[in-house]
Chains A and B, each alone.
Chain A
């Protein structure tokens, strides 16, 4: 059954399948996700990956927009600080999203819904583990109704 149809069948909390949007940087975390796939490491289908050239491409607006359009959780995965393909990109990511994560929490959004992590190209297992943990955490938390656009179907 396609993932989307599964999502729409949120009959009760036990059958709730969260939608997790992951922004992955092309050089490290996307490659890491690839590695998880080629190594046949299983991880939930709830995760939808959006590839960006570098984690610092990500605008906080992207994160909010993902929540508006149905995401229950958002993950930003980039290279480890110091290892950015573009030298310094992820340092800016770190600052930007430290401030933004605090802001979101302050505005009343659960901390656990938005995560920033550093996953290198060889860390296929870390990617799989992060995806699995995040998904089960979101299953516990339930669907996000706070930031979702009420008109979104």
Chain B
């Protein structure tokens, strides 16, 4: 374990900025979200690095799966149509201060995009992204990662570096060869750590990991996420979906903020004699999501779309992907849905159906 003094953080980041494009949680007005490190250095922008807020507004999935990504340019040249694939340019990405829930979500996105046929756009971003995880030693009221057996303070989640945010320092351990390399290449910024502190932090981590599992009073942990998978028909046909649909606004907040949601649309932009094709996020809750070319819409009603979303995450996805559930318990849907529809509510309602 190596310590980086917090007052050296900026110097360290400036040093590694040569190699990497750094994104980290930044406080802007009333919110905290991932921003480019270089923006925090600009005066008058009012952006400050925020390593204390547990969760960012939007998940960092947008660094692997951007809000929109143009990948093909076409140009009309007399009667010819020329095509050119767009290259991914620039430095590798380093996402600093990501939490274990978001880190685990990358595993789920990998299952979607890196299995055959491989999504090249995702793959090239994934291969050029380094993650530095901030290990949680506290949770907020909206957290429930442990419901999905994710260890918030863990260091086995596939990231390149892990750190504890403790007192005046950040305490790093490597999670991969790439992480080791960074620690050694920039060793001048790091100090060694007394074994007592290392032991104390690891103990705290273990206790914290165990504490949430043992906490039987947490309302978010009451219903097992396998509930839908184990009782598909009963829950599919129940009227809990209409109950939720009554207030659902059919917007895209839950899908866009969710670290595991990955639906997209492909659109073309036409300039005068040229244009580009791009991929952009889509939401299964939009009313026209399943609208067909001939005008028919198999999921015209809100309750059908709501039901499909949760069934996808908790039934269809595990069916396809060796029982892996497509939720990481980050809690963004609990805080952001304007009408309080979230996956724990769905589990609670589903639990109610089974117990009846």
* Min CB gap A15→B, angstroms: 21
Bound CA span A92–B276, Å: 38
Within 8 A of B (CB), among A62-78: 69
Q: Which residue of A lies closest to B274 (CB)?
A: A153
Q: What is the interface residue range for chain A against chain B?
A: under 10
Residues of chain A lying within 8 A (CB to CB) of residue B271: 69, 149, 151-153
Inter-subunit contact A153/B70 (CB<8 Å): no
Inter-subunit contact A153/B269 (CB<8 Å): no
Partner of B273, one of A69, A149, A151, A153: A153
Residues of chain A lying within 8 A (CB to CB) of residue B272: 69, 152-153
Bound CA span A38–B271, Å: 34
Residues of chain B lying within 8 A (CB to CB) of residue A149: 269, 271
Within 8 A of B (CB), among A49-108: 69
Secondary structure at chain A's binding surface: helix, strand, loop or mixed?
loop
Tell which of B70, B272, B276 has the most Cβ of chain A within 10 Å: B272
Q: Which residue of B lies closest to A153 (CB)?
A: B271
Residues of chain B lying within 8 A (CB to CB) of residue A151: 70, 269, 271, 275-276
Within 8 A of A (CB), among B276-329: 276
Bound CA span A149–B70, Å: 14
* Min CB gap A139→B, angstroms: 22
Within 8 A of B (CB), among A96-153: 149, 151-153
* Min CB gap A4→B, angstroms: 8
| B side interface size, CB within 8 A | 8
Residues of chain B lying within 8 A (CB to CB) of residue A153: 271-274
Bound CA span A152–B273, Å: 10
Bound CA span A152–B276, Å: 10
* Min CB gap A68→B, angstroms: 10
* Min CB gap B76→A, angstroms: 11
* Min CB gap B311→A, angstroms: 37
Q: Which residue of B lies closest to A152 (CB)?
A: B271
Q: Which residue of A lies closest to B275 (CB)?
A: A151
* Min CB gap B64→A, angstroms: 22
Bound CA span A152–B70, Å: 13
Residues of chain B lying within 8 A (CB to CB) of residue A152: 271-272
Bound CA span A69–B269, Å: 12
Residues of chain A lying within 8 A (CB to CB) of residue B70: 151
* Min CB gap A72→B, angstroms: 16
* Min CB gap B218→A, angstroms: 46
* Min CB gap B66→A, angstroms: 15
* Min CB gap A8→B, angstroms: 10
Bound CA span A38–B300, Å: 57
* Min CB gap A42→B, angstroms: 27
**B58-76 contact mask (Cβ, 8 Å, vs A): 1 or 0:** 0000000000001000000
Bound CA span A28–B188, Å: 76
Bound CA span A74–B272, Å: 19
**B152-191 contact mask (Cβ, 8 Å, vs A): 1 or 0:** 0000000000000000000000000000000000000000
* Min CB gap A19→B, angstroms: 12
Bound CA span A153–B271, Å: 6
Tell which of A69, A149, A151 has the most Cβ of chain B within 10 Å: A151
Bound CA span A152–B274, Å: 9
Bound CA span A152–B269, Å: 9
* Min CB gap B69→A, angstroms: 13
Residues of chain A lying within 8 A (CB to CB) of residue B274: 153
**B4-38 contact mask (Cβ, 8 Å, vs A): 1 or 0:** 00000000000000000000000000000000000
* Min CB gap A143→B, angstroms: 16
* Min CB gap B271→A, angstroms: 5
Residues of chain A lying within 8 A (CB to CB) of residue B269: 149, 151
Residues of chain B lying within 8 A (CB to CB) of residue A69: 271-272
* Min CB gap A94→B, angstroms: 33
Bound CA span A69–B272, Å: 9
Bound CA span A77–B194, Å: 78
Q: Which residue of A lies closest to B276 (CB)?
A: A151
Bound CA span A30–B312, Å: 57
Bound CA span A22–B269, Å: 24
- What are 15 A-B pairs with beta-carbon distances under 8 A? A69-B271, A69-B272, A149-B269, A149-B271, A151-B70, A151-B269, A151-B271, A151-B275, A151-B276, A152-B271, A152-B272, A153-B271, A153-B272, A153-B273, A153-B274
Extra contacts, 12 of them, besides A69-B271, A149-B271, A152-B271 (Cβ < 8 A), are A69-B272, A149-B269, A151-B70, A151-B269, A151-B271, A151-B275, A151-B276, A152-B272, A153-B271, A153-B272, A153-B273, A153-B274
Q: Across chains A and B, which 4 residue pairs bring their CB atoms closest together, nearest first? A: A153-B271, A152-B271, A153-B274, A151-B269
Binding site for A on B (CB under 8 A): 70, 269, 271-276
